[in-house]
Structure 1
């Protein structure tokens, strides 16, 4: 059980999907309360009762959307894909459900006033928790299993070059040196395209990881990842005419010629470089194009 809770789990990093998730959570809460009417709502007689009850769903949507959109911005490292696990997802949902229950309790008290005997705060939180935590935890586990199976099986079918280092070395002299220049136009790194492993975004900086005398080395350049990407797009493989240094994640650019293996987990694909020393994540939006490019290189 504890091993399952420590497994990597996708951390939603697309704003549109966060809004959609908040909408469905709010809709579920609103419809559940309207249909089953717990907490004494069934005894409550008031004009526009349906609209007032659906207000619980609206409040749930607003609270959920706020937390989904603001918290990852305030705590980016805590909500990073590298640190997110099944256990953290379940804990996050538990906190979310508790806050929703607390907010809706005060909304209920404001609605009913003294017209009916309302539940106490502890009772509301307990019922809200029991309503939400079990289906939420079950959905997390099921989603983890489905995604793990999907990406693990799919990754085994993605071909890569048997000996990427040999193939890359053979084409080095056919391609000109490339230069990565920082925003100040003074700091730069000049290297053969084949020596680049990957580039990682670090706030306003980018870390370039490359081979120096056959050993991994790093250099920090003050530049956005998009700016370096435009410089890297000028390099192409002479044999295919395609750019082999591509964006695979909002925080990573990778040299596909250096990919030795592709694996998958619940978060998606992982590209392995340098005998597994580096594992680069692939964002969902890049899956199709990156897989097609890897197949063309194999």
Structure 2
């Protein structure tokens, strides 16, 4: 039987999860510690006889719950630092699963290293117990992770914005000056200043101190790299209401959107002339919906 994997779903850009942001990381670690500790105390999954325990069972549970909490806090703290230094904005489900897999592997190794402090057993440093700790961490951790993801999705969907059920592409009259007239854009270096026909622009993507402009002109798709930040570019075209900063790394032309899909966790935008997809962050859903309704009254036919 062939196993089907939706590679596009795994590799498309999504919003970096709030739970891993620096301001939420301590809270995330505390929640994980509390849930794991409660689970261990209630179900007592460790099949170890009392004479082999060097410390009280409650302290054993504390050690096993504290270990993944500390690893998650330290690991994603370092990852956040590296992302900020490298100005990396992309995040995909595949990256998410890889990072969680690494965290679970480290948790299993930490559990193995703690055995000599917790248990009195002649084989504490054997390959058998190393494999057992890693296996248990991967199996139990994976189940625990997906249960938390389902719970998080449920609570977010209850307070999230409604899904765009019937998105009708916006249209504009051919003679509209806001689309046909070029706009002069000033960059950080005067010799790099340029003119841009905004009507041809599909979306702009942040690339560090540069932006990548994706346009459709004369039946041809093109991309250009310009020396200007997305924030500076956004400020210079702010008088054109059909351009929207839908994500910290993307700005889109609302008049070029062909299809909207997604849910209360975020939308994904598709365009007429390219297979590229642009995410709308969860924080911008309400603003996106509001602007779409305004433009629909103005431009739709």
Which TM-score applies when normalising by structure 2? 0.73
Pick the aligned partner of 1:64 from 55, 69, 72.
72
Would the alpha carbon gap of residues 117 and 27 (structure 1) be closer, same or farther in structure 2, given more than 3 Å must change? farther
Residue 160 to residue 296, structure 1, CA distance change in 2 (3 Å): farther
* Residue number among 83, 90, 102 corresponding to 1:80 in the alignment: 90
Task: Write the distance in 2 (CA, Å) between the matches of 1:58 and 1:7.
Answer: 36
Q: Does 1:102 align with 2:109?
A: yes
Cα separation, 1, equivalents of 2:251 and 2:147:
35
Counterpart residue number, 2:143? 134
Q: How well do the aligned residues superpose, as a CA RMSD in angstroms?
A: 4.0
Q: Which residue of 2 aligns with 1:259?
A: 257
CA distance in 2, matches of 1:79, 1:245: 20
Equivalent residue for 1:222, pick from 216, 222, 227: 227
Runs (5+) with no aligned partner, structure 2: 297-301
Please give the residue correspondences for 1:159-170 in structure 2 after superposition, counting only pairs within 5 Å.
Answer: 159-161=168-170, 164=171, 167=172, 169-170=174-175
**What pairs with 1:23-38 in structure 2 (closer than 5 Å)?**
23-35=30-42, 36=44, 38=46
Is the deviation greater in 98-107 or in 28-37?
28-37
Q: Which residue of the partner structure matches residue 281 of structure 1?
A: 279
Q: Distance in 1 between matches of 2:61 and 2:264?
A: 37
Cα separation, 2, equivalents of 1:204 and 1:225: 8
> 1:6 and 1:266 mapped to 2: Cα distance?
22
Distance 1:4 1:278, change over 3 A: closer
- Confirm or deny that 1:12 pairs with 2:16: yes
8 Å contact kept, 1:179–1:189: yes
When the two structures are superposed, what TM-score results if normalisation uses the length of structure 1? 0.74
Give the 3-state SS of the residue equivalent to 1:157 in structure 2. Answer: coil
* CA apart distance, 1:54: 1.6
